[in-house]
Amino acid sequence: MLRFLLILLLCLPARSQAQYSATADAQASAPLRKLSQRLQTLLPRGVMFGHQDDMAYGVGWKYIHGRSDVKDVCGDWPAVYGWDLGHLELGRSHNLDSVPFDSIRAYIRWVHAQGGINTISWHGNNPASGGSAWDTTLAVAAILPGGGAYNTYITWLDRLADFMHSLTTADGSPIPVIFRPFHEHTGSWFWWGQRQCTTTEFRTLWQFTFNYLCTQKQVHNLLYAYSAADFRDETDYLERYPGDAFVDVIGFDQYQYRNAEDYQRLLRQRLQVLERVAATHHKIPALTETGLERIPQPTWWTETLLPVLRNYPVSYVLLWRNGRPDHYYAPYPEQASAANFRQFYADERTLFLEEVKNKK
Q: Do the bridges between strand 61-62 and strand 57-58 make them parallel or antiparallel, or are there none, so unpaired? A: antiparallel
Q: 120-139: which residues touch ligand BMA (CB under 6 A)?
A: 123
Residue from 156, 321, 340, 353 binding ligand BMA (CB under 6 A): 321
Under 8 Å between Cβ of 28 and 174: no
Q: Which stretch binds ligand BMA (CB under 6 A): 70-78, 174-182, 210-218, 316-324?
A: 316-324
What Å distances lie between residue 175 and 34, 260, 307, 355, CA to CA? 11, 38, 34, 20
Please report how close the Cβ of residue 244 comes to ligand BMA at its closest, in angstroms: 29
Nearby residues of 113 by Cβ (< 8 Å), 6 or more positions away:
169
Phi, psi of 228 (to 5 degrees): -85, 175
Q: How far is CA 231 from the centre of its chain?
A: 18
Q: Rank residues 202 and 320 by Cβ distance to ligand BMA and give the closer one.
A: 320
Residue 323 contacts ligand BMA per CB under 6 A: yes
Nearer to ligand BMA, 72 or 84 (CB): 84
Residue closer to ligand BMA by CB (options 85, 128) is 85
Catalytic option among 89, 184, 293, 354? 184
Q: How far is the CB of 3 from ligand BMA (least distance, A)?
A: 59
The residues that bridge with 287 in the sheet, in sequence order, are 252, 317
Which is nearer to ligand BMA, 326 or 348 (by Cβ)? 326
**In whole angstroms, how close is the CB of 326 to ligand BMA at the nearest point?**
11
Q: CA 165 → CA 116, 159, 175, 218, distances in Å? A: 19, 10, 9, 9
Q: Could you tell me whether strands 177-180 and 316-319 are parallel, antiparallel, or unpaired per DSSP bridges?
A: unpaired
Residues in 73-112 that interact with ligand BMA by CB under 6 A: 84, 96-97
How many residues form the binding site for ligand BMA (CB under 6 A)?
7
Kind plus residue range of the DSSP H or E element containing 350: strand 350-351
Radius of gyration of the chain (CA): 20
**Active-site residue, 184 included:** yes
CB of 120 to ligand BMA, least distance (A): 12
Hey, which residues does 141 pair with through a beta bridge? none
Q: Which stretch binds ligand BMA (CB under 6 A): 35-43, 186-194, 320-328, 339-347?
A: 320-328
Closer residue to ligand BMA, CB minimum distance, 87 or 220: 87
Cβ at position 53, least distance to ligand BMA in Å? 8
* DSSP three-state, residue 249: strand
In the bound complex, what is the minimum distance in angstroms from residue 255's beta carbon to ligand BMA?
9
Name the nearest CA neighbour of 181 among 88, 111, 309, 282.
88
- CA–CA dist 320, 292 (Å, integer): 9
Q: Which stretch binds ligand BMA (CB under 6 A): 15-23, 105-113, 192-200, 315-323?
A: 315-323
> Is 289 a known active-site residue?
yes
Q: Which residues bind ligand BMA (CB under 6 A)?
A: 84, 96-97, 123, 320-321, 323
Residues annotated catalytic, as ranges:
184, 289
